[in-house]
Amino acid sequence: MVFVKGALAVFFAFGIFIFSIEGIFALGVSPAKIEMNFEPGLEKDISYQVFGGNPNAELQIYASGDLKNYITFDKTTLSGEGGSFTAHLKLPDSLEVPGRNFVYIGIGEKVDPELIQGQIGTVVAINVLINVYVPYPGRYLEVDLKSSDANVGEPVRFELNLESKGEEEINVSPAIQIYSGDKFVENLYFSSRLIQSQEKIGLKKELDTSGYNPGVYRAVAVVDYGVLARDEEQFRIGELKIDLINYTRQVGIGGIRKFELEIQSGWNDVIDGAYADIYFSNQSGIFGNFRTTTTTLTPWEKKKIDGYFDSSGLSVGIYDANITLYYFGRNVGSSSSQSVKVEFVEGKSNIGLIYYTVLGVVILIIILFVAWKFLRRKNGRKIRWKE
């Protein structure tokens, strides 16, 4: 009884430690990130809200990073509980480094400089980011392609984002190339258009999948503006089908045994009521059958299902297992069958498993007991419990 209570004390102390860690990370700031394009002499006020701090501490506000000299604050301290402040950004007429220039706005607990470092504990601080994008000389384009999955006969939707990152405007005529493996299938063309410096546009296009076979395809966005810009995405065209990925290949004879299947949806929609009927047979005939549990599959999901059967009447050897999967999608039922080989072997005793389980429990109890004794010695006193 004393040992059990000691173990509870260890877990209680651990729980207090976990909750204390959680409190360390309570400080938050909004907004967490600001992005903008460079403009000569740009001035901008950004309001921030700080929340969830330590009411017994004082917070200080500071800046770091490439652009720290171009930012000021309406206040540099806050109470530990948080509050609001404004950062004023004033950019110069030019910045030499193209690409992302940044400044971090830091909010952290103010440290007493007279305290020895080891005595102040953990200092809570958080940084939020301001990104200022400076255009590259000449023309520069970034391409980002996104695609959706679909079922046969349904459209695949593409979203093509183009962003001019250079100082000059760009005339573009984008296209999306469709591949099945390495085999080219067809092109999808967009209208030609002009993109201004630092302008970002989003384009959309649909692929008619009539005549396409189910499978995995590749879409490549290509934009030639003197330099070739590209991006690539995979997409899937599905059908109402469940594939058998794996199964139990060896079973011990004797008593109730578990048989497991790993299945995967090949459909871009929910499949309901998926289960399997399994029959074992050899040249002498059918020796047993059973049904697995029933499950639901989300689009393209891989999942394990299992069933149990009595293997007592079977002999050592290789059996055929006929696995028939049944499933429903959009109120339409379907099925698929596959014959596989399963080996039945002499049953393995559960004594070894029981032995190692008991041994593991004993070791865990010893570890908890040692930890409890250690805590008692470290504290220099005994923990007393009232019965």
pLDDT at 120: 47
Share of the chain above pLDDT 70, in %: 85
pLDDT at 18: 42
Band of the pLDDT at 140, cuts 50, 70, 90? very high
Can the peptide bond before residue 174 be classed as cis, meaning omega within 30 degrees of 0? no
- DSSP letters for 263-329: EEE-SSS-EEEEEEEEEEEETTEEEEEEE---EEE-TT-EEEEEEEEE-TT--SEEEEEEEEEEEEE
Q: Tell me the pLDDT tens digit for each residue of 96-129.
A: 999 999 999 999 988 766 665 544 445 688 999 9
Q: Are residues 338 and 247 in the same domain?
A: yes
This prediction has a pTM of: 0.70
Q: Are residues 39 and 130 in the same domain?
A: yes
Q: Are residues 62 and 75 in the same domain?
A: yes
Tokens of 333: 């039922």
The span from the CA of 141 to the CA of 230, in Å, is: 10
Q: Are residues 48 and 82 in the same domain?
A: yes
pLDDT at 300: 97
As to burial, measured by CB atoms within 10 angstroms (0-12 exposed, 13-18 middle, 19+ buried), residue 262 is middle
Answer whether residue 325 shows pLDDT above 80.
Answer: yes
Mean pLDDT of the chain: 87
Q: Is 148 helix (H, G, I), strand (E, B) or coil?
A: coil
pLDDT at 11: 46
Q: Are residues 385 and 299 in the same domain?
A: no
Answer whether residue 222 shows pLDDT above 70.
Answer: yes
Answer whether residue 52 shows pLDDT above 90.
Answer: no
pLDDT at 112: 65
Q: Are residues 152 and 199 in the same domain?
A: yes
Helices (H), the chain: 2-24, 351-379
Q: Are residues 37 and 107 in the same domain?
A: yes
Lowest average pLDDT, out of 64-73, 76-85, 144-153, 361-370, goes to: 361-370
The span from the CA of 52 to the CA of 42, in Å, is: 32
The span from the CA of 173 to the CA of 224, in Å, is: 7
The span from the CA of 203 to the CA of 213, in Å, is: 26
Q: Are residues 225 and 270 in the same domain?
A: no
What is the distance in angstroms between the CA of the first residue and the CA of the last residue of the chain?
Answer: 9
- DSSP annotation of 70 reads G
CATH number reported for the structural domain that contains residue 37 in this entry: 2.60.40.2310
For the segment 125-143, the average pLDDT, to the nearest whole number, is 94
Domain count, the chain: 4
| Final residue of a structural domain among 92, 109, 134 | 134
Which one has a higher pLDDT value, 314 or 297? 297
Answer whether residue 151 shows pLDDT above 60.
Answer: yes
Residue 81: count of CB within 10 angstroms of its CB: 14
| Total length of the chain | 387
Q: Are residues 55 and 123 in the same domain?
A: yes
| Final residue of a structural domain among 134, 152, 172 | 134
What domain range is 232 assigned to?
A: 141-238
pLDDT at 359: 79
CATH number reported for the structural domain that contains residue 228 in this entry: 2.60.40.10
Q: Which residues are CB-neighbours of 91 under 8 A, at least 6 positions away?
A: 38, 39, 40, 41, 42, 43, 67, 70, 132
The span from the CA of 123 to the CA of 108, in Å, is: 7
Answer whether residue 383 shows pLDDT above 50.
Answer: no
| Final residue of a structural domain among 76, 104, 134 | 134
Say if residues 319 and 342 touch (Cβ distance below 8 Å). yes
**5: Cα within 13 Å, side-chain hemisphere:** 9
Band of the pLDDT at 69, cuts 50, 70, 90? very high
pLDDT at 12: 45
Which one has a higher pLDDT value, 358 or 334? 334
Biggest distance spanned by C-alpha atoms of the chain: 90
Q: Is 15 helix (H, G, I), strand (E, B) or coil?
A: helix
pLDDT at 314: 86
Q: Are residues 216 and 231 in the same domain?
A: yes
The span from the CA of 241 to the CA of 263, in Å, is: 10
Band of the pLDDT at 22, cuts 50, 70, 90? very low
Most confident segment among 15-29, 208-222, 367-381: 208-222
Q: Are residues 310 and 273 in the same domain?
A: yes
Say if residues 333 and 296 touch (Cβ distance below 8 Å). no
Answer whether residue 374 shows pLDDT above 80.
Answer: no
Q: Are residues 252 and 309 in the same domain?
A: yes
pLDDT at 351: 45
